[in-house]
Amino acid sequence: MKKKIGKKRQITLSDIAATVGVAPMTVSRVLNQNGYVSDETRDKVLSVAKEMNYRRNGLARNLKRQRTETIGLVLGDISNPYSTELARAVRQAATANDYNLFICISEHSAEEDIAAFESLTSHSVDGLIVATRANDAGDEYLKSIVENNVPVVVIGRDFYHENIDYISADNLAGGFEATQHLVDLGHRRIGFIGAAFDQETKLKRLQGYFNALEKHGIEIDERLVTGRREVRSGVPGYSTEEIGYEGMKRLLSLPKRPTAVFARNDFTAIGAMTAIKEASLRIPQDVAIIGFDDIPLASHMSPSLSTVRQPMRLQGQIAAELLLKRIESESFPEREERILNCELIIRESTVSRKS
Amino acid sequence: MKKKIGKKRQITLSDIAATVGVAPMTVSRVLNQNGYVSDETRDKVLSVAKEMNYRRNGLARNLKRQRTETIGLVLGDISNPYSTELARAVRQAATANDYNLFICISEHSAEEDIAAFESLTSHSVDGLIVATRANDAGDEYLKSIVENNVPVVVIGRDFYHENIDYISADNLAGGFEATQHLVDLGHRRIGFIGAAFDQETKLKRLQGYFNALEKHGIEIDERLVTGRREVRSGVPGYSTEEIGYEGMKRLLSLPKRPTAVFARNDFTAIGAMTAIKEASLRIPQDVAIIGFDDIPLASHMSPSLSTVRQPMRLQGQIAAELLLKRIESESFPEREERILNCELIIRESTVSRKS
DNA sequence: CTGTTAGCGCTTTCAA
DNA sequence: TTGAAAGCGCTAACAG
């Protein structure tokens, strides 16, 4: 049974004003709790508003006020606990400062990145936190946003702009430490899984791997570096279990297979572990493996996964703070750059329980 | 070095119009690609718009158009892969229909639930998908939203309203099957972890557990049902690893401990597994355990976790479809209710590898 | 304490 | 093919 046909017009301030017999402005004052209104009027307005089930129109309000008290967060790869921790921290900081948070997901491409920026900015969010991977078209768009005076902060996105704050884990040092840990254990043939060849130079974790090898005088063997070969233009390079699995299989099929592997992130590492187990090799005795991120899965794996922990909550919190500072500043604050330390977490996948 | 002091006014349609020497309406036509505009005018407008780095004001546009082509999704417990799968599916369906998606997180309380509803509706989203747990204040608010003709669909939220579509996994049957699986294995003392006593009657999974016991003539022992005791009013009852850990410890300390446990969700189950291992008991020989959801962790645990898989992507997809149908319908569609089947996934935590 | 005026930036409608 | 007028619903600023 259809209840009613056609959607009814929404109730407005003027409707209430007319019913109560006051000016819309008075109703506005009551509802926003600012300005003086007599108790009598206030009560009447409130009761009528409630009766009519009034709901204010934020579009009109925000259009007039020129701010929304809302910030936007653009997230890629939302399945990674990395992202959700970040989101929680950002939300917490936002809420504490009376800002709402809208999250947009941009999983696959530069187009989605841009669609997310577009949809958030066109709703006039007061500021934007961007945690997707860099890509040319998206960077271009971000630039135009900033030049429209919308405050922006990026997290782990390799993009420089003088009016954008930059926050990141120290991926370079993290990659270095992970690799060095393997070297310290005596490994000389160390593989890397999860390179993205379209942006190789930008992948700090891979660079850290190169640096560590170089420091210890180990020659770089290109065959030990695997990743997504095909370059889909403008596609951010997230790494998944599948990529780890495929990559490891390729490494294991080499004439001289690596004795240890550094995977770009924990999901990749977990995929690689599956491949190692399938080949009936032991972890870490035959192949040692280390990941990156320290997602909850890492400590629950068997063997548990060594990894590099990055401070996600902290990154989110700092991002929100810097953004709010930008939003509430009258002028343009100095650009800030925060590179946060990572922590090497040694577990069973690199060091045998019994050794 | 501060670049500029004060934020500049945003560029408007009129600015472009003035520069080009046409009416704002003409610029609007060009930018929205509707109506006739001469090629010459169009080119000039476009080039000036680009030059001035014009960005349209969505608030004004949406205020006038009375729609935003945006839908909102309210998520609790975003750390649960359950939520992220849902979000991805919703986003996919929304994008495919040219709608944007804004996600809000409501982690802890009815207040946050309401804040999320408030912030999304006040931005005039065209519709709302709500996937947080039911709570009185939130339900009340939802009702007022619907009665303002905003289309709403709930997922797994136990709330009935004649104009709200309802989608859920069949938690009752899932809970029943999980418990019955344990009974079939010969267990008679079966515990439940993760009850929320303020809403016990609403927790379908627990009800399914009761039903299965009853069917098999097993008497219900209240001491075997653990959960959060303190009733924080209006707090949705999510279950975490800690709750599972604590609950299991309590169960293990009973004079006659259970030989099997059904945990309300996989996180709870994993926490419980930790407690079992700490007590030097074997899974499943000493205590068998089954969870719910089939998060990625479940299959990677050691022993791997038996569980009940619920179709998250499907729930998200259907929710989005029903919502869009409501949004695009002229009248008020019949309420739809979709209860989706779950699937029992048997792994090592209930059936020993070697048996 | 309350009301009036004006206008946020855009698009719908009608007219030219 | 283009323009003018009006107004979406709200609030800042000022006036009473």
Tens of pLDDT, residues A95-122:
999 999 999 999 878 899 999 999 999 9
pLDDT at residue A4 in the model:
39
Identify all chain A residues contacting B53, using CB atoms and an 8 Å cutoff: 144, 147-148
Average pLDDT over residues B271-293: 95
Identify all chain A residues contacting B103, using CB atoms and an 8 Å cutoff: 102-105
Which of B17-26, B191-200, B285-294, B305-314 bottoms out in mean pLDDT, i.e. has the lowest?
B191-200
| Full residue range of the structural domain in which residue B41 is found | 13-55
Q: What single-letter DSSP state applies at residue A132?
A: S
**Is A350 among the domain residues?**
no
pLDDT at residue A217 in the model:
95
Average pLDDT over residues B208-226: 94
**Is A24 among the domain residues?**
yes
Please indicate, yes or no, whether residues B177 and B283 belong to a single structural domain of this protein: yes
Average pLDDT over residues A184-206: 84
- Residues of chain B with pLDDT > 70, as a percent, come to 92
Please indicate, yes or no, whether residues B151 and B264 belong to a single structural domain of this protein: no
Phi, psi of B209, deg, nearest 5: -60, -50
DSSP secondary structure string for all residues of A225-281: EEEE-S--TT------HHHHHHHHHHHHTSSS--SEEEESSHHHHHHHHHHHHHTT-
**Is A133 among the domain residues?**
yes
**Does residue A79 have a pLDDT over 80?**
yes
Query: Looking at the 3D structure of chain A, how many domains does it have?
Result: 3
Go through chain B and tell me how many residues it has. Answer: 355
Mean pLDDT rounded to a whole number for chain A = 89
Please indicate, yes or no, whether residues B79 and B154 belong to a single structural domain of this protein: yes
Dihedral sign for Cα atoms in the order B14, B18, B24, B29: negative
pLDDT at residue A6 in the model:
47
**Is A5 among the domain residues?**
no
Distance B32 CA to D1 C1' (A): 16
Identify all chain B residues contacting A53, using CB atoms and an 8 Å cutoff: 144, 147-148
Selecting from A79, A103, A149 the residue whose C-beta is nearest the C-beta of B7 gives A149
Selecting from B53, B105, B297 the residue whose C-beta is nearest the C-beta of A297 gives B297
Please indicate, yes or no, whether residues B229 and B264 belong to a single structural domain of this protein: yes
- Residues of chain A with pLDDT > 90, as a percent, come to 70
On strand C, nucleotides with any atom < 7 Å from a protein CB are 1-5, 7-13
In this prediction, residue B1 has a pLDDT band, given cuts at 50, 70 and 90, of very low
Give the domain CATH number at B22: 1.10.260.40
In this prediction, residue A348 has a pLDDT band, given cuts at 50, 70 and 90, of very high
**Is A188 among the domain residues?**
yes
pLDDT tens profile B112-146: 999 999 999 999 999 999 999 888 999 999 999 99
Higher pLDDT, A231 or B143: B143
- Residues of chain B with pLDDT > 90, as a percent, come to 70
**Is A62 among the domain residues?**
no
Residue B174 CA to residue B294 CA, distance in Å, equals 12
In this prediction, residue A199 has a pLDDT band, given cuts at 50, 70 and 90, of low
Average pLDDT over residues A269-273: 95
pLDDT at residue A242 in the model:
86
Q: Among B63, B86, B102, B114, pick the best mutation site for testing chain A contact (most A Cβ within 10 A).
A: B102
pLDDT at residue B227 in the model:
79
Please indicate, yes or no, whether residues B23 and B147 belong to a single structural domain of this protein: no
In this prediction, residue B232 has a pLDDT band, given cuts at 50, 70 and 90, of very low
**Is A218 among the domain residues?**
yes
- Tokens standing for residue A37: 């209104």
pLDDT at residue A200 in the model:
52
pLDDT at residue A3 in the model:
36
Q: Which residue of A has its CA nearest to B96?
A: A112
Identify all chain A residues contacting B335, using CB atoms and an 8 Å cutoff: none
Q: Which nucleotide is nearest to A37 (CA to C1')?
A: C1
Average pLDDT over residues A120-136: 93
In this prediction, residue A195 has a pLDDT band, given cuts at 50, 70 and 90, of confident
pLDDT at residue B240 in the model:
80
pLDDT at residue A229 in the model:
60
Q: Which residue of B has its CA nearest to A298?
A: B297
Residue type, A74: V
pLDDT at residue B156 in the model:
92
pLDDT tens profile A43-56: 888 999 999 999 99
pLDDT at residue A201 in the model:
59
Please indicate, yes or no, whether residues B178 and B160 belong to a single structural domain of this protein: no
CA distances from A64 to A99, B58, B93, B268, B338 (A): 18, 13, 33, 48, 42
Chain A, chain B: beta-carbon pairs less than 8 Å apart? 168
**Is A64 among the domain residues?**
no
On strand D, nucleotides with any atom < 7 Å from a protein CB are 1-5, 7-13
pLDDT at residue B233 in the model:
39
Residue A21 CA to residue A45 CA, distance in Å, equals 9
Please indicate, yes or no, whether residues B305 and B175 belong to a single structural domain of this protein: yes
Please indicate, yes or no, whether residues B301 and B229 belong to a single structural domain of this protein: yes
10 Å Cβ neighbour count for A346?
13
pLDDT tens profile A12-33: 998 999 898 888 889 999 998 8
Average pLDDT over residues B249-277: 95
Answer yes or no: do A10 and B148 touch at CB < 8 A.
yes
Give the domain CATH number at A151: 3.40.50.2300
Please indicate, yes or no, whether residues B160 and B102 belong to a single structural domain of this protein: yes
Please indicate, yes or no, whether residues A205 and A280 belong to a single structural domain of this protein: yes
Answer yes or no: do B332 and A121 touch at CB < 8 A.
no
Mean pLDDT rounded to a whole number for chain B = 89
pLDDT at residue B239 in the model:
63
Please indicate, yes or no, whether residues A111 and A75 belong to a single structural domain of this protein: yes
Please indicate, yes or no, whether residues A211 and A290 belong to a single structural domain of this protein: yes
